[in-house]
Structure 1
Amino acid sequence: MGDLHGSAIADGADDTVAPQTELERSALLVDELRQELDDTNRGLIALHTELETARLSEARLAAIVASSDDAMMSLGPGRLIETWNPGAERLFGHTEQNIVGQAIDSLMSDAACVAFLAVAEQIRSQGHADSYQSRWRRTDGAEVDVAVTVSPMRDAGGALIGFATAARDITHQLAAQAELAAARADREVMAERDRIARDLHDMVIQRVFGAGLALQSVTARITRPDSAARIHTVIDELDATIRELRGTIFELGQPAQKAASLRAQVLDEAATAQGRLGFAPAVEFDGPVDAALPDTTASHLLAALREALSNVARHAHASAVRVAVHAGDELLLEVTDNGRGIDPTVTRSSGLTNLRRRAEKLGGTFEVVGRPEGGTRLRWRIPLTAESPARTS
């Protein structure tokens, strides 16, 4: 009986403890589930925050691409255009609907395409490429200077799947660089002109002047009148040379300016020669003289005229000179005087040689002949080709 009683007590005790343990276990399970739910909620909130941040970043990036003045595009396999921003439409003229799906090669000349392929190959082999300059085509066929940047696009595994390409219009930048280079070149030319002017003044003029003084001292010891007259003639030519050198030095010191019309420049040359000739040359024009010549050809004609009038002043002893400039299928400069005619020694002068060389350099001819009525006629002529600006105007 005692054992049974004790056993019953023991069984009773077990029945009271078991339910409490089960409740505790349930409470623990509920706590664990609540913790897992809280962790899941925090994870979902963090994921939502990350997704929202990524969405905002993507929206900002899309806004940057859409508002950029640069042309931005992405290329898939076969260099086909997959995306095309408004900047690309403004720069090249193609709408997104018309260009997407087309090869980027349609924007390039053969040379530009070769350069792009070289950059793409560099990215495949080295992983990156530097920006480069190229010329791409617009819808109207005109080419535009661009700075091109090409970057790789890769998938999650790192495989190359395309290229992100940006092109910036650098037309104004290149123009500014060209203007800067031209300004630097002008400064260098002016510095060189100053150096030449100094050398002419300090060395050449002094030597010519010294030679003139030496000849003047010699004439005092010459008794033959004809010999003395010839030496005085040489001294006069040396004086004229010094005046011309001083005029050249002055011109070298002046900045380059836009040339006046050719007619005006021819008239200026004739007016300048009046002081040496003692009278004003007559001048006449025939044909579209101002429209007929490129600047380089006009400068040769003016130099030829200057040399011709200088020869008349030195050698012809003329009282009248006529200058005629004719422009048609050819350009003809004719200088006629009523002087003493051709001197055989003068025909071999360096001035006449320069006139001949100038004409031959331009595919033309030069001749100087005596006139039956007295005096000399000089003809300097060059062809005017159909490609000349004058022939198309």
Structure 2
Amino acid sequence: MGDFDKKYGFDASAHPRAPNSAPSGRGGINDQRPRDWLAAIIDGSDDAIVSKDVKGIIQSWNYAATRLFGYSAEEVVGKSITIIIPEDRLEEEPAILAQIQSGNRVEHFETKRRRKDGSLVDISLTISPIRNAEGVVIGASKIARDITERRLAQEQQQLLMVEMRHRIKNLFALAGAIVSISARSSAPEEVVAQIQARLSSLSKAHELTMSALRDEPESEERVDLLSLIRIILEPYADDGRIDVQGDNPQIGGASITHVALMLHELATNAAKHGSLSIADGRLSIHVRDTAEDVHIDWQEVGGPGPSPDASADFGGRLEKGVTGMLAATLERDWKAAGLAVSIVLPKAKLGN
């Protein structure tokens, strides 16, 4: 048995020699045996290629398998393939072996396997039966491809779709709120003008928040925080019922879009469920700039009582956003007068 036979667990006597295996006499590539070429192909593959017998014992293990799973061939050959199968997926192996022993091929089976360090990896498996000269199934060859990046891309796309669905739903709700607010004017011409102006302002605010969802280079632009707050709240401003005061620090880079997204979420909630949803509601925002942080105090007054379902959904989304991207802290308090939100933004995350 040659080096290839020893390394990859095959008995060459069980397989007929290919016609081109005879020496050519010219020192060319035909001087090499087909199994030597096969060994080079297997070891040079970017995909993990593993063979096992009908009992699930590993017989061969290429270099790509070492890169993918962390085990060397010496560590795993002769051991059960279950060494790389997570406990909650052990039932997959008997089902795979049953298919192989029946002579069936398993194609593009997506699953998870466990690396030597205990971490899990998403893979796509293609498994084919190995037969001896008599056609009897004696094992299986597995080709495993790492699909982690593809899975992450799919998950990110799904998250983006969920976010877009949420935002489109909000835009329709906000358009309705703008119509309701504008309808308080008696003259139809005023109603039309106010709706157009507010929808234009909403478009500007939406463009700011949408840039956080696009794959764009980080901007060097810097904006005044109070100006940003006023842009976001402009669609809801009516009869001076929104008051924005305090310090006016500048923020820059990606933090502009993340802060805009946070403010948009607050404004959306206020227009749908809070003080901006009724004629007499008021909103005050105060900004305080300290050495290390920027504090934003958001106080709604005169709105309806809190809706547990709405406030839970709103609070979860808002808290996830500010704590994730901005490393901020957030406190919510449904006071008798209305919702109070206190946000502390580290300056290190604001492009300062």
Report the TM-score, using the length of structure 2 for normalisation: 0.56
* Deviation by residue 1:163-199 (Cα, 9 ceiling, x = unmatched): 111111222333455566677x4997599589959x9
* Deviation by residue 1:33-62 (Cα, 9 ceiling, x = unmatched): xxxxxxxxxxxxxx9977637962212111
**Identical positions, percent:** 18
Secondary structure in structure 2 of the residue aligned to 1:141: coil
- Does the CA contact (< 8 Å) of 1:152 and 1:160 recur in 2? yes
Name the CA distance, whole Å, in 1 between partners of 2:21 and 2:285: 92
Instruction: Return the letter of the residue paired with 2:137.
Output: L
Deviates more, 1:296-305 or 1:169-178: 296-305
* Deviation by residue 1:66-101 (Cα, 9 ceiling, x = unmatched): 211111121124311111111111221211111111
Matched, 1:137 2:91: no
- Does the CA contact (< 8 Å) of 2:123 and 2:148 recur in 1? yes
Name the CA distance, whole Å, in 1 between partners of 2:312 and 2:167: 31
1:212-251 → structure 2 map (5 Å cutoff): 212-213=186-187, 243-251=197-205
Shift of 1:121: 1.2
Which residue, 40, 59, 62 being the options, matches 1:85?
62
Q: Which runs of 5+ in 1 are unaligned?
A: 1-46, 217-234, 337-341, 370-377, 385-393
Instruction: Considering fraction of residues, name the structure with more helix.
Output: 1
Secondary structure in structure 2 of the residue aligned to 1:131: strand
Report the equivalent of 2:98.
121
1:345-364 → structure 2 map (5 Å cutoff): 347=302, 351-353=303-305, 358-359=310-311, 362=315
The CA RMSD over aligned residues, in Å, is 5.5
Name the CA distance, whole Å, in 2 between partners of 1:297 and 1:187: 13
Matched, 1:283 2:246: yes
Q: Which runs of 5+ in 2 are unaligned?
A: 1-16, 24-29, 214-218, 249-254, 290-294, 317-331, 345-352
Report the equivalent of 1:366.
334
Secondary structure in structure 1 of the residue aligned to 2:71: coil
- Does the CA contact (< 8 Å) of 1:82 and 1:101 recur in 2? yes
Higher RCO (CA < 8 A, seq sep 6+) = 2
1:1-393 → structure 2 map (5 Å cutoff): 52=22, 56-125=33-102, 127-178=104-155, 185=161, 196=172, 200=175, 205=179, 212-213=186-187, 243-252=197-206, 256-258=210-212, 268-269=228-229, 277=240, 281-283=244-246, 300-303=265-268, 323=286, 333=297, 335=299, 347=302, 351-353=303-305, 358-359=310-311, 362=315, 365-369=333-337, 378=338, 380=340
Shift of 1:132: 0.7
Structure showing greater radius of gyration is 1
Name the CA distance, whole Å, in 1 between partners of 2:340 and 2:171: 33
In the superposition, relative to structure 1, how do residues 200 and 383 fare at CA in structure 2: closer, same or farther (>3 Å)? closer
In the superposition, relative to structure 1, how do residues 80 and 210 fare at CA in structure 2: closer, same or farther (>3 Å)? same
Name the CA distance, whole Å, in 2 between partners of 1:310 and 1:63: 70
Instruction: Return the letter of the residue paired with 1:277.
Output: G
- Does the CA contact (< 8 Å) of 1:270 and 1:280 recur in 2? no
Pairs aligned (count)? 280
Shift of 1:63: 1.3
